Amino acid sequence: MAKKKLTKNMGTIDRGLRATLGILLLALAVSETIGSWGYIGVLPLFTSIWGWCPAYYPFGFSTCKTTEHGEPDEPGEPTPTI
């Protein structure tokens, strides 16, 4: 079975905001300021690292700048595959 190539669908600002939110939620959870639900912060943190949001995928949504060929405009970064 051939692997399906997943194109990045998150731009720099989107990734930065998600990383910040993820770290903040995790810090608040570890310090017991909020309940254990704060550990959900791993999700936005991992999606920001990966550059691909599974919630955007079914709708074809993207906050990533693209070239005229439709590929992500972030050279040198690998594209995740499944």
Say how far apart CA 33 and CA 24 lie, in whole Å. 11
Domain count, the chain: 1
- pTM for the model: 0.68
Residue appearing with tokens 């639900």: 37
| Percent of the chain with pLDDT strictly greater than 70 | 73
Query: Is 71 within the bounds of a domain?
Result: no
Per-residue confidence (pLDDT) for residue 13, from 0 to 100? 92
Q: Which runs of consecutive H residues, i.e. helices, occur in the chain?
A: 12-30, 42-50
The token duo for 74 is 């972030």
What confidence tens digit (pLDDT) does each residue in 11-34 have? 899 999 999 999 999 999 999 999
Say how far apart CA 59 and CA 40 lie, in whole Å. 23
Query: Is 78 within the bounds of a domain?
Result: no
Domain extent at residue 54: 17-59
Query: Is 75 within the bounds of a domain?
Result: no
